[in-house]
Amino acid sequence: MTQDDLTGRGGPGKRERRDLRFGLEEALDGELPEEMVQRMQRHTDDCPECAEEWEQVRRMKELVRRSCADRAPSELRERIAVQCRTVSVTRTDADGTTVRLTRTETVRRGFPAP
């Protein structure tokens, strides 16, 4: 679906043809004129590829909205607050002896108040 598909404009003098897949998010967020959104929806009635793209973007946006509204459980927040970092180095000496050095460091991070 291109800008020309929706506006009826086009032809050889048209400077830019914009792929409206990039406008789906704006349409779903109510950031486009209602007439354009309706034309996009009518187009999806006859275009399975665009209908699938529309539905995928809609589902993704809904998932992000739900995920951002939820607060992480306190146990998860605590595990994230305590960051453990382990560094392991394995070295083989000239005589074939393998030495492994491991260092673990724990750092407590605070979170801003909710």
Instruction: Give CA–CA dist 42/36, Å, rounded.
Output: 10
The reported pLDDT for the residue numbered 5 is 47
Burial class (CB in 10 A: 0-12, 13-18, 19+), 40: buried
Instruction: Give CA–CA dist 56/51, Å, rounded.
Output: 9
Number of domains comprising the chain: 2
Cα separation values, 110 from 16, 33, 40, 79, 98, Å: 49, 44, 46, 11, 39
pTM of the prediction?
Answer: 0.46
Q: What is the mean pLDDT of each run of 10 residues along the chain (114 residues)?
A: 47 47 84 91 90 91 82 80 75 87 74 58
State whether 82 and 53 are in the same domain: no
Q: Residue 29: give the domain boundaries.
A: 3-69
Residue 114 lies in a domain: no
